[in-house]
C-alpha cells in the first residue's frame, strides 16, 4: 500500500492532476471554516459521491469548482470510481469500506493542507 507522500508525488507527475489549484477564495474559505469542518465536508462528499457501489452520475459527480474539496478530489484522482480504479486499483460496483473512505479523506486533506 502506498503512503500519502508517495501518492501525492505520483499525482504531481500527472499533467492533468497537477493542474488543479486552490484560488484565494478557496484558501479563505478553508481558514474561515477551519480544517475540522473542511474534513467533515470531505467525509460527506466521499460518503455520498464515491462510497456507494454505483454512485449517481459516476464519472461526472464531482464539480470542477465550487468547493476546495472538489478540486482536491480531482487533484488526487478521488473524483469518481473510474479514477479510483485506475489510480488505486479500487474495484468498481461495490461499496467502499470505512477504511477506504478514511484513506481517501486523509489523502484529500493532505493535498489541501499543503496548499493553505
Closer residue to Zn ion in complex, CB, 75/79: 79
Helix (H, G, I), strand (E, B) or coil at 51: coil
Q: How far is the CB of 82 from Zn ion (least distance, A)?
A: 5
Nearest approach in angstroms of CB 51 to Zn ion is: 15
- Tell which positions 70-99 bind Zn ion, by CB under 5 A: 79-80, 83
Q: How many residues bind Zn ion (CB under 5 A)?
A: 3
Classify the C-alpha dihedral 26-66-100-11 as positive or negative: negative
User: With binding defined as CB under 5 A, does residue 46 bind Zn ion?
Assistant: no
Burial of 71 (0-12, 13-18, 19+ CB in 10 A): buried
- What is the contact surface with Zn ion in residues (CB under 5 A)? 79-80, 83
Amino acid at each position: 500500500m502506498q503512503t500519502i507522500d508517495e501518492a501525492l508525488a505520483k499525482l504531481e507527475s500527472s499533467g492533468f492532476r497537477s493542474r488543479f489549484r486552490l484560488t484565494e477564495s478557496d484558501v479563505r474559505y478553508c481558514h474561515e471554516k477551519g480544517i475540522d469542518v473542511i474534513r467533515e465536508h470531505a467525509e460527506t462528499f466521499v460518503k455520498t459521491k464515491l462510497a456507494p457501489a454505483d454512485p449517481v452520475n459516476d464519472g461526472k459527480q464531482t464539480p470542477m469548482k465550487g468547493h476546495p474539496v472538489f478540486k482536491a478530489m480531482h487533484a488526487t484522482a478521488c473524483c469518481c470510481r473510474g479514477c479510483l480504479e485506475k489510480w488505486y486499483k479500487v474495484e468498481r460496483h461495490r461499496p467502499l469500506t470505512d477504511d477506504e473512505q478514511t484513506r481517501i479523506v486523509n489523502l484529500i486533506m493532505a493535498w489541501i493542507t499543503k496548499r493553505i
